[in-house]
Amino acid sequence: MKRFFNAQSVTVIGVSNSPTNLGRAIVYGLIRYEFQGTVYLVGAKGGSFLGFKIYKSVAEVPETTDLAVLLVPARVVPDILEDCGRKGIKRVVVESGGFSELGDDRKELEERILQTLDRYDMRLIGPNCIGIINRHTGLALPFMPIEPLAPAGNIGIISQSGGVGGCILNDLGAEKLGYSLFASIGNKLNVNECDLLEYYLVDDKTKSIFCYLEGIADGRRMMEIAMKGEKPIVLHKSNRSEISRGIARSHSASLAVDDFVVSAACRQAGIIRVDKQSEAFTLLKGFQLPPVRGKRMGIISRSGGHAVIAADAAAEYGFELPPLPEDLIREVEKSARAGVIRFQNPLDLGDVFNLELYKLLAEQLLKNPSFDCVLFVHHYQPVFDTQPSRNLIRSIPEIVAKVGKPLALCVFSTRAEIQFNRENTAFPIFTDVHDAMKALAASRDYFNRKVYHFASRRPTGLSPSNIRFPLASETAMLDPTEAGSILQSYGFPLAPWKLAQDEESAVIASKELGYPVVIKTASPSVIHKTDAGGVLLNLKNTEEVREAYRKVSQLGRKVIIQKMVTDNGIEWIIGGKRDPQFGPVVLTGMGGVLVEIIKDVSARVGPICHEEAIAMLRETRAFRVLEGFRGQPRANIDALADMIVNVSWFLHDFPQIKEMDLNPVLITVDKAIILDWRIALC
């Protein structure tokens, strides 16, 4: 990727003298951003533009440039790429649209492109994008005219949509916040978000990353990259819903992925997912501050109302407001008139008109080791205090730089004043207390994140080697007896069971297992066994078993006789599925209404370790039930976590499993035992 962003020479292909030619905008961009390298233009009609000669073909260009950028009709792209390949150009950006986003009939065009890339060992960004920018070298390729309002800085941007990416640049520009790299990736035929993320994470100019995606190229790789990285990644992944599928397909040829899995994967990998542009921008502003290391916050506000709102927001986002320490009070009292400040946190400075004191307070509070961060709210109306307020605001970045701790600055004034302040300081200014709080919370959560990498060692006691799945079956649903045997061979604890194919063997099996027993249909075609009357519980003797067999066998001759587990415990569910983007996904939640109606389910991409399984359980609201709810004893949470880990390995070991359910799993004070199960193959 470095060869893209640090290109010293660029060939712009598709330039003409026509005033409607979009290629010219690329040339303008390189000039406006003061590209520190050499530019050549190519266009079939030749001529010149802005003093540059327009060569009629790539072959004629007197130099093999590091990079070529194409804005030509889709149908000629393969040929021109061939020209580039022959010329020895190894990196190309294709901005032209008209590929698979218009329909599958354009796939062939893409196929030819891929062959060319392969043949010449080239890499390609696009097609259907607005290209890339390196704000530090002036390499700016968008055909969309984006004024260089945002300065050079440390935010790296990846956007599948040129329009959305351009808007982030507008936002940055309006607040004079800087970026390092920008890439619009469109259909991501060759280079995808993972390639770029990997590069941004090592690029020394980039400190935080924003990524807008409509589809995910390789979810698992994205997770691995993020887990290893040490820079916050703010991901806006759209195309979440049924009704956005059509438009996403025709905009960037993106297919929908399971949105619930995307969210879970992000949480697991430490990626910060947002679903609003404005929220993304808010968080990026927060990451311009030094990291928030803890949850102890000091709030200073000139407006009492905003102090109340800030206290509410602090509670909402999990911050604590410790009392102001004595030594701080003494320090400040030296400078303040006695009695004008009521020393509580939030500190309301409404009655204090000496803005120098505000500065002192902000600095002292920020320095104080009892506080991890400060929220500083300043309200002024022009006429009053304009100059002192502007000075105060301008001094905040210095204080933050000096102390090296995070202070979020929230300013309320006329929009003209806010704009003035933004243009005169390269420091994030918030205009809503909740936004500032959210940004600080995101920083706190990121810098205190606990990321567990994918598990690399299979727990002892699991034996994948002896298991053979049936190769083909009429139905995707595995026969419950086969599924049971496989689960047991792998190492899962099932309640003791036996297959019975007629009434007599049902009676014999029941005696061998010992009463009470359960009879369940073993017919793979019955999905909701209980609803269908396919499960009868608590059978205490031969008579009851015979009667039950006669009922249940109406669904099929084969039944499972199972020892009835009468231990007290909690019914839990462990599920799993294979996701095309992420691989094995394990899910868990408390059985019954909680999973089915409340959707109190937690998910992870596997294989996972024990600690991750515990984190997963803690994420469910029903976790409190496991811990011992209303006088009940604590369930064996470790045994449950181990079983979740094992399911994640089971799914990892057998990619032929499409989905599975262990439902219910009974969790008692000493063990986790599977009472029913279901496996469907791909």
Considering beta carbons, is residue 170 or 668 the nearer one to a second copy? 170
354-383 positions binding a second copy, by CB under 8 A: 379, 381-383
Closest to 580 in 3D by CA, of 256, 272, 273: 256
530 binding a second copy? (CB under 8 A) = yes
Of residues 621, 656, 670, 682, which one binds a second copy by CB under 8 A?
621
On the 0-12 / 13-18 / 19+ scale of CB atoms within 10 A, 2 is: exposed
What is the DSSP track for 45-80? T--EETTEEEESSGGGSSS--SEEEE-S-GGGHHHH
Q: Are residues 578 and 584 in contact, defined by beta-carbon separation less than 8 angstroms?
A: yes
9 touches a second copy by CB under 8 A = no
- Which of 195, 214, 363, 659 is close enough to bind a second copy by CB under 8 A? 214
Among 116, 137, 159, 180, binds a second copy (CB under 8 A): 159
Q: How far apart are alpha carbons 175 and 97 in whole angstroms?
A: 32
| C-alpha 141 chain-centroid distance | 28
107 binds a second copy (CB under 8 A): no
Using CB under 8 A as the binding rule, whether residue 330 contacts a second copy is answered as no
Residue 655 phi/psi, 5-degree rounding, is -65, -10
Task: Report the nearest approach of a second copy to the CB of residue 162 (Å).
Answer: 7
Please identify which residue in 293, 434, 610, 671 interacts with a second copy, judged by CB under 8 A.
434
Q: Does 433 bind a second copy (CB under 8 A)?
A: yes
Contact status: 435 vs a second copy (CB under 8 A): yes
148 contacts a second copy (rule: CB under 8 A)? no
Residue 125 sits in the site that holds a second copy (CB under 8 A): no
Distance CA 42, CA 61 (A): 8
Closest contact distance (angstroms) between CB of 417 and a second copy is: 9
Q: Which is nearer to a second copy, 145 or 514 (CB)?
A: 145
527 binds a second copy (CB under 8 A): no
Per CB under 8 A, contacts with a second copy among 580-609 are 590, 593-594, 596-598, 600
Residue 417 vs residues 275, 351, 426, 503: alpha-carbon distances, Å: 30, 22, 15, 86
Residue 415 found at the interface with a second copy (CB under 8 A)? yes
Per CB under 8 A, the list member of 141, 307, 365, 393 interacting with a second copy is 307
- Whether 539 and 516 have beta carbons less than 8 Å apart is answered as yes
Helix (H, G, I), strand (E, B) or coil at 333: helix
Q: Is 147 in the site for a second copy (CB under 8 A)?
A: yes
Q: CB-wise, 496 or 592, nearer to a second copy?
A: 592
Among residues 16, 238, 425, 648, the one that binds a second copy under rule CB under 8 A: 238
**Contact with a second copy (CB under 8 A) among 108, 118, 316, 670:** 316
Which residues 6+ apart lie within 8 Å of 660 measured at CB? 575, 576, 577, 647, 650, 651, 677, 678, 679, 680
Shortest reach from residue 389's CB to a second copy, in Å: 13
Q: Which amino acid is at 279?
A: E
Q: Of 410, 421, 328, which is closest to residue 376 (Cα–Cα)?
A: 410
Name which of residues 182 to 201 contact a second copy (CB under 8 A): none
- Is residue 164 part of the contact set for a second copy (CB under 8 A)? yes
Task: Based on the shown chain and the rule CB under 8 A, indicate whether residue 636 belongs to the binding site for a second copy.
Answer: no
Counting contacts by CB under 8 A, is residue 443 touching a second copy? Answer: no
Interface with a second copy, residue 302, by CB under 8 A: yes
The residue from 625, 637, 639, 669 that contacts a second copy (CB under 8 A) is 625
Beta-carbon count within 10 A of 353 CB: 13
> Does residue number 241 form part of the binding site for a second copy (CB under 8 A)?
yes
Pick from 412, 549, 572, 677 the residue near a second copy by CB under 8 A: 412
For 164-323, list the strands marked E by DSSP.
Answer: 179-184, 208-213, 233-237, 272-274, 297-301
Total of residues contacting a second copy (CB under 8 A) = 93
Q: What is the DSSP string of 568-636?
A: --EEEEEEEEEETTTEEEEEEEETTHHHHTS---EEEESS--HHHHHHHHHHSTTHHHHTT-TTPPPP-
